[in-house]
Amino acid sequence: MDTKFIFVTGGVVSSLGKGISASSLGMLLKRRGLKVFMQKFDPYLNVDPGTMSPYQHGEVYVTEDGAETDLDIGHYERWLDVNLTKESSVTSGKVYSSVIARERHGDYLGATVQVIPHVTNEIKQRLVDAASASGADIVITEIGGTVGDIESLPFLEAIRQARLQWGYGSTMFVHNTLVPYLRTSEESKTKPTQHSVKELTGLGIQPDAIILRSEVPLDAHTRDKVSLFCNVPLSGVFEADDCQCLYELPIKLHEQGIDDYVLEHFGIAAPEPDMSKLQGFIDRITNLKKTVRIALVGKYVELKDAYISVSQALKAAGYALDADVKIEYIKSMNVTRANAAEMLSGYDGLIVPGGFGTRGSEGKKESIRFARESGMPFLGICFGMQLAVIEYCEDVLGMKGANSTEFDPECDYPVIDYLRGQHDGIDMGGTLRLGGYECHLREGSLARKLYGKDDIVERHRHRYEVNPSYVERINEGGLAVSGTNPGSGLVEIVELPGHPFFIACQFHPEFTSRPMKPNPLFKGLIEAALAHQEAVSYTHLRAHETGRNL
């Protein structure tokens, strides 16, 4: 086949940064004019992370075509500025489900179904599907977990077979491994890397390149040692040291020649990459002149991975406005009507992200109420929008008992209701409104001003909607519906006219935000937060001057 495959493995420890290394390589190859597709093999038996607790797996990232995926897919999309697809996320659950379904259908003609060849063939088919669907020149596939994990063995066996079947010139193995630094002896130790590579070669895979993760720069002797004992050319040994800015990694890898090494391996001629835009971006974000504080109120705040796309979108918006966004994570269960002002008044803006369930919802509502009444800039996302609607109906429109049927199926005013066409008793997985949907923005609205166009497409992940029966009453009561789905008429955006910045959306704008192209809603929030900060500072200054002159 014409497509080339790069397989990225990891050794020694998990959370080593395989995804960032893979994304950096993908970014470099894309800047050299190649079409790159990114893919993740996850060894867990869940079909996808959609039903997993954030404490287990962090955020669920949703692709344009509606796949619920690992958060690494979000890294890939942001770093490469591409929209990936369901082919990007392959789990053991998906693989085994497919194999068992085929066995039940009789596709194996009575054969004894085994890991080899049936499971490994299914995994290789997912590689072929990714290449075919994307039309990519190069598919970069990250193997989740660490070499030596029993769960990953079928995936590693499958990529070993891929090398045998598709050839050296069509496949490449890149191994990420840790070189720990012992401060007491002031030495970098290569033995863990050697053992990791030994484990990998024992599975029939000889790495073509090694990326060494280290907290300190490595000397020539250390790199020579890794090359010799791991049987990798010195030109194929690269460093991924700790960086002041994460976006420096692609430039550092380029300076070491990793993209040239890969292209030479595949026999591909490509123009040199233009790194000036990325370098200018790094220069800007490492010298930000302003600071803005945003309160993120959620129930998983002790686990930052649960909101990683939101935090990245906030940071990207700050970069565009020369501002360092300091995100303060506030546990929603700790916020009450009595203490909301005390807990939130020191911030420049508020965001209430997506979520499910009653736990912490009252604290989120009280946070929204404080922002609405105090004039603090507010952005609500998905569940945050639903709570904004409930809070407004209760406190402003006098609809006592307004609620979501998720919380109280018998509430007096079900202003948030179950997604049309679904019923009790269905499975939890894959039943949400998922992926990209159109939204028409009302002329003259804040949403229309922020996006600068009439129609947008944003990604969704939810079961409940604003109840169409109450839309007219909500609109007439002052909370304007400014975005709707043109096909179904379902509410996508609400905003509060007259408020400095109060807007909430049913979709997840964080999934379409990019480091150099922030989503307009996040950029609007940070812009409003900076203005709020300036207004508060001016008020305090005037009060101080007035007091001094008395």
**CA distances to 306, 486, 520 from 435, in Å:** 19, 16, 19
Question: Could you give the CA distance from residue 544 to residue 340 in angstroms, rounded to a whole number?
Answer: 25
Distance of alpha carbon 532 from alpha carbon 547, whole angstroms = 22
Please pick, among 77, 508, 527, 532, the residue that the annotation labels catalytic.
Answer: 508
Give the CB-side neighbour count of residue 237, counting CA atoms within 13 A: 25
Q: Residue 35 is encoded by which pair of tokens? A: 């079409």
Q: d(Cα 326, Cα 347) in Å, to the nearest integer?
A: 10
Picking from 99, 132, 101, the residue whose alpha carbon sits closest to that of residue 116 is 99
Distances (CA, A) of 426 to 257, 432, 506: 52, 11, 23
Using CA atoms, how far apart are residues 146 and 200, in angstroms rounded to an integer?
Answer: 10
Of 68, 394, 510, 527, which one is the catalytic site residue? Answer: 510
Q: Sheet with 36-42: list strands edge to edge.
A: 89-91, 36-42, 138-143, 4-10, 171-178, 209-214, 237-241
Provide the 10 A C-beta neighbour count for residue 132: 12
**508 is an active site residue:** yes
Give one DSSP letter per residue of 203-243, joined into a string: TT---SEEEEEESSPPPHHHHHHHHHHHT--GGGEEEEE--
Which residues are within 8 A (CB) of 140 and not within 5 positions of it... i.e. 6 or more apart? 5, 6, 8, 22, 25, 26, 36, 37, 38, 39
Are the C-beta atoms of 416 and 406 separated by less than 8 Å? yes
Q: Is 382 a catalytic residue?
A: yes
Tell which residue, 264, 271, 262, has the closest CA to residue 7.
Answer: 262
Query: What type of residue is 456?
Result: I
Round to whole Å and give the CA distance between 6 and 33.
Answer: 17
Rounded to whole angstroms, the Cα distance separating 504 from 364 reads 13
Q: 51 φ, ψ to 5°?
A: -105, 5
98 contacts 122 by C-beta, under 8 angstroms = yes
Out of 382, 393, 439, 505, pick the active-site residue.
382
What Å distances lie between residue 311 and 43, 75, 306, 326, 372, CA to CA?
A: 27, 12, 10, 10, 22
Phi and psi torsions of 265, nearest 5°: -60, -40
Burial 99-122 (b: 16+ CB within 10 A, else e): beeeeeeeeeeeeeeeeeebbbeb
- 283 class by beta-carbon count within 10 Å (0-12 exposed, 13-18 middle, 19+ buried): exposed
Which helix (H) or strand (E) covers residue 472, if one does? helix 471-476
The residues carrying an active-site annotation are: 382, 508, 510
